[in-house]
């Protein structure tokens, strides 16, 4: 008894082979599409940069140094920071903590905030820097020290464009006269 041979012609073999290739290519493209879709949905959360230095040149030059930045998409948290920039005067700012709010272009400095401008030293627990408006504000108590003068007040506002200071509830002591 003889086993019958399958009746596969060259034409049907080529058809099956082409069909197999098309299915393989379609599956590969579908897999590639799914991978791209998954990669596009990836969001890096809490990226950390340690011992950072940012330098900027433009309207005013600045140098920002710190121990650590944690990037949380809309908010950047900064730790043990030092900011130096020059507009009409040289400004040095030191704080334990800072937050940059990207959508508002606003920086909050918190805890042991010390701001030095020329011969003026300003100490406050919280300071806001409105970057586009070039305004530094604090609604907290503020201590200003300058050449034998100690000034205490609240609601500090410094306009960096015209070097205008505003301070409410002011009490000044003059020493060394």
pTM, two decimal places: 0.67
Residue 17 domain-assigned (yes or no): yes
115 and 164 co-located in one domain: yes
31 and 54 co-located in one domain: no
118 and 155 co-located in one domain: yes
CB atoms within 10 A of CB 84: 16
Residue 97 domain-assigned (yes or no): yes
With contact defined as beta carbons under 8 Å apart, do 137 and 124 qualify? no
68 and 119 co-located in one domain: yes
33 and 51 co-located in one domain: no
CA 161 from centre of chain: 24
Sheet holding 164-174, edge to edge: 47-56, 61-72, 75-86, 90-101, 106-117, 120-130, 135-146, 149-159, 164-174
14 and 35 co-located in one domain: yes
52 and 123 co-located in one domain: yes
17 and 94 co-located in one domain: no
Nearest to 149 by CA among 122, 125, 130: 122
CA atoms within a 13 Å half-sphere pointing along the CA-CB vector of 175: 8
135 and 69 co-located in one domain: yes
Residue 37, classed as helix, strand or coil, is helix
Domain count, the chain: 2
Residue 117 domain-assigned (yes or no): yes
How far apart are the C-alpha atoms of 23 and 150, rounded to whole Å?
Answer: 81
> Per residue of the chain (177 residues), what is the pLDDT tens digit?
666 666 667 778 888 888 999 999 999 999 999 888 887 776 666 788 888 888 877 666 788 899 998 888 788 899 999 988 877 778 899 999 999 998 888 889 999 999 998 788 999 999 998 888 888 899 999 999 988 888 899 999 988 878 788 888 888 888 765
54 and 136 co-located in one domain: yes
Note down the domain range covering 115. Answer: 47-174
- The CATH number of whichever domain residue 122 belongs to comes to 2.60.450.10
DSSP conformation class of 3: P
Token pair 């950390």 is at which residue?
Answer: 48
Residue 102 domain-assigned (yes or no): yes
Residue 118 domain-assigned (yes or no): yes
133 and 77 co-located in one domain: yes
24 and 61 co-located in one domain: no
């Amino acid at each position: 008894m003889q086993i019958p041979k399958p009746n596969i012609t060259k034409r049907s073999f080529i058809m099956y082979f082409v069909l197999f290739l098309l299915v393989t290519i379609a599956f590969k493209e579908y897999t590639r599409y799914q991978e791209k879709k998954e990669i596009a949905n990836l969001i890096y959360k809490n990226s950390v940069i340690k011992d950072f230095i940012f330098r900027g040149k433009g309207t005013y030059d600045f140098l920002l140094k710190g121990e650590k930045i944690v990037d949380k998409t809309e908010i950047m948290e900064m730790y043990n920071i030092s900011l130096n920039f020059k507009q009409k005067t040289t400004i040095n700012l030191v704080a334990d903590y800072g937050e940059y709010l990207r959508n508002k272009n606003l920086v909050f400095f918190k805890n042991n905030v010390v701001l030095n401008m020329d011969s003026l030293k300003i100490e406050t627990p919280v300071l806001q820097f409105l970057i586009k408006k070039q305004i530094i504000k604090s609604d907290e108590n503020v201590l200003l020290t300058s050449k034998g003068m100690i000034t205490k007040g609240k609601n500090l506002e410094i306009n960096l464009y015209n070097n205008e200071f505003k301070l409410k509830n002011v009490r000044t002591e003059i020493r060394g006269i």
